[in-house]
């Protein structure tokens, strides 16, 4: 993923000049209907189960609005073509698209997700490299499962400036994170999305909506919930397990640290006492030794993973909450209907 950084280096300068404030260069994202359809189609054709599909978003920045006007998919990674050159592929695709007069500016990437599990190290790293190279770039997360339930789920995320700072410094120690005062809530910021279609398309849509039968919207009213919830819970449990492990790791670290601190303290005290004695006897004090050499502090565990896991857990919980609240509504509705009949 990091290799993609270079690909964006060209347009960056162009866009940096057009871009808005440093704080939040993008306030809104406008997606062409075409892009949405392309993403959905890509997943439908290539992704199955928990596999994810990825692709590149193309567009341009207008004031504080990011317009995504086109996209193209990445080919699925297979083991046979290990020497597949992604950069080359991207460059060629963009060049070709330019030939047919399509926006060819790199503005981010998209990825599908499985039950909302996307907060991972890989995503963080690649989004960081994107955002580092192209300040306005976003990652679109498409949730096919939710979409299948009746409502399109497409979300745009950007790393917060704080997280960008941390990633730039690569300081993931507990102290670093504490100093940056960052929590899992402040890792990503969601950018509102507007889907824009041409008027012609809108007209067509209205036309279609009139014609479509109720049966097409049945998915929305599906009352069964246990399957979805079970899956979510399963994933949630796995994350919780990971979290527990991380905490245990951190726990041991801090215990070791405090133990060492104590030892260090004792040592210094003894040294001081001795020196005091020596002074009283008129002897020269003992030479200062490098204490840091004697007490090497234990390696602090990187806390980034913990943060990410927490973010993911939060994500799951939001999902479950959303889902259950919807379902509860549906259930009440069904009950009311039952009574009515």
Partner 1 sequence: MSRFFATGSDSESEESSSADEITPKAPGTTFKQSLLLSDDEEDTKRVVRSAKDKRFEELTNLIKTIRNAMKIRDMAKCLEEFEQLCRAFLKSKNIVDKEGVPPFYIRLLADLEDYLNQLWEDKEGKKKMNKNNAKALSTLRQKIRKYNRDYETEIAAYKENPQESADEEEEKEPGDSGSSSDSDDEGGDEGVTAKSFLKKKPEPTPEASKFLKTAKGSGDESSSSEDDDDEDWSSDSVHSGSESSDEGDEKTSSLAVVFLKKTLDTEKSEKRLGKKRKPKKKERLEEEAEEEGGEEVEGGWEKVKGGAPLVKEKPKMFAKGTEINIPVVVKKLNEILQARGKKGTDRAAQIELLHALAAIANENNLGQGIMVKIKFNIIASLYDYNPNLAAFMKPDMWKKCLDCIDELLDILFDNNNIFIGENIAEDSESLAISDQPFRVRGCILTLVERMDEEFTKIMQNTDPHSQEYVDNLKDEGRVCGIIDRLLDYLETKGSTEEICRIYLRRIMHTYYKFDYKAHRRSLGLQGETKSEQDQEESEGEDSAVIMDRLCKFIYAKDRTDRIRTCAILCHIYHHALHSRWYQARDLMLMSHLQDNIQHADPPVQILYNRTMVQLGICAFRQGMIKDAHNALLDIQSSGRAKELLGQGLLMRNMQERNAEQEKIEKRRQVPFHMHINLELLECVYLVSAMLLEIPYMAAHEFDARRRMISKQFHHQLRVGERQPLLGPPESMREHVVAASKAMKMGDWRTCHSFIINEKMNSKVWDLFPETQRVREMLVRKIQEESLRTYLFTYSSVYDSISMETLSEMFELEIATVHSIISKMIINEELMASLDQPTQTVVMHRTEPTSLQNMALQLAEKLGSLVENNERVFDLKQGVYGGYFNRDQKGGYQQKQSYQRVQTILAATS
* Contact set with partner 1 (CB under 8 A): 225-226, 229-230, 233-234, 236-237, 240-241, 243-244, 247-248, 250-251, 254-255, 258, 317, 320-321, 324, 327-328
**Minimum CB–partner distance for residue 249 and partner 1 (Å):** 10
- Cβ proximity of 301 and 253 under 8 Å: yes
**Minimum CB–partner distance for residue 227 and partner 1 (Å):** 9
**Minimum CB–partner distance for residue 241 and partner 1 (Å):** 6
The Cα 300–Cα 291 span in angstroms is: 19
**Minimum CB–partner distance for residue 50 and partner 1 (Å):** 18
> Cβ closer to partner 1: 35 or 310?
310
Residue 336: strand, helix, or coil: helix
> Cβ closer to partner 1: 164 or 317?
317
**Minimum CB–partner distance for residue 318 and partner 1 (Å):** 12
The Cα 313–Cα 108 span in angstroms is: 25
> Cβ closer to partner 1: 47 or 301?
301
Question: Which is nearest to 138 in space by CA: 191, 97, 64, 72?
Answer: 191
> Cβ closer to partner 1: 160 or 327?
327
> Cβ closer to partner 1: 197 or 256?
256
Longest dimension (CA), the chain: 103
Residue written as token pair 């919207």: 217
> Cβ closer to partner 1: 138 or 236?
236
**Minimum CB–partner distance for residue 284 and partner 1 (Å):** 36
**Residues composing the chain:** 341
> What are the tokens at 73?
């998919």
The Cα 65–Cα 193 span in angstroms is: 10
CA torsion 152→158→160→164, rounded to 10°? 150
**Minimum CB–partner distance for residue 233 and partner 1 (Å):** 4
> Cβ closer to partner 1: 112 or 315?
315
**236 DSSP assignment:** H
- Cβ proximity of 163 and 232 under 8 Å: no
The Cα 9–Cα 17 span in angstroms is: 14
């Amino acid at each position: 993923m990091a290799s993609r950084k270079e690909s964006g280096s060209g347009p960056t300068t162009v866009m940096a000049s057009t871009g808005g404030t440093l704080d939040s260069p993008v306030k809104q994202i406008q997606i062409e209907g075409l892009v949405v359809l392309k993403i959905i189609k890509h997943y439908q054709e290539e992704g199955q189960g928990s596999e994810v599909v990825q692709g590149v978003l193309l567009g341009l920045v207008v004031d504080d609005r990011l317009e995504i006007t086109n996209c193209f998919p990445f080919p699925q990674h297979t083991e046979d073509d290990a020497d597949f050159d992604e950069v080359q592929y991207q460059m060629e695709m963009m060049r070709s698209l330019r030939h047919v007069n399509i926006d060819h500016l790199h503005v981010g990437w998209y990825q599908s997700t499985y039950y909302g599990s996307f907060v991972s190290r890989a995503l963080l790293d690649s989004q960081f490299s994107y955002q580092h190279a192209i300040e306005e770039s976003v990652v679109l997360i498409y949730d096919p499962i939710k979409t299948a339930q009746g409502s399109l789920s497409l979300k745009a995320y950007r790393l917060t400036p704080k997280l960008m700072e941390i990633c730039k410094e690569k300081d993931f120690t507990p102290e670093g994170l504490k100093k940056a005062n960052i929590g899992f809530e402040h890792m990503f910021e969601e950018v509102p999305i507007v889907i824009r279609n041409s008027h012609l398309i809108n007209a067509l849509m209205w036309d279609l909506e009139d014609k479509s039968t109720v049966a097409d919207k049945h998915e929305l009213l599906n009352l069964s919930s246990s399957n979805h919830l079970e899956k979510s819970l399963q994933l949630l449990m796995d994350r919780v397990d990971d979290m527990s492990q991380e905490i245990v790791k951190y726990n041991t670290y801090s215990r070791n640290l405090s133990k060492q601190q104590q030892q260090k303290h004792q040592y210094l005290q003894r040294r001081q006492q001795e020196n005091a004695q020596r002074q009283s006897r008129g002897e020269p004090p003992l030479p200062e030794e490098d204490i840091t050499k004697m007490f090497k502090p234990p390696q602090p565990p990187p806390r980034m993973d913990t943060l990410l896991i927490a973010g993911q857990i939060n994500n799951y919980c939001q999902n479950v909450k959303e889902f259950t609240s919807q379902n509860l509504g549906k259930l009440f509705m069904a009950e009311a209907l039952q009574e009515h009949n």
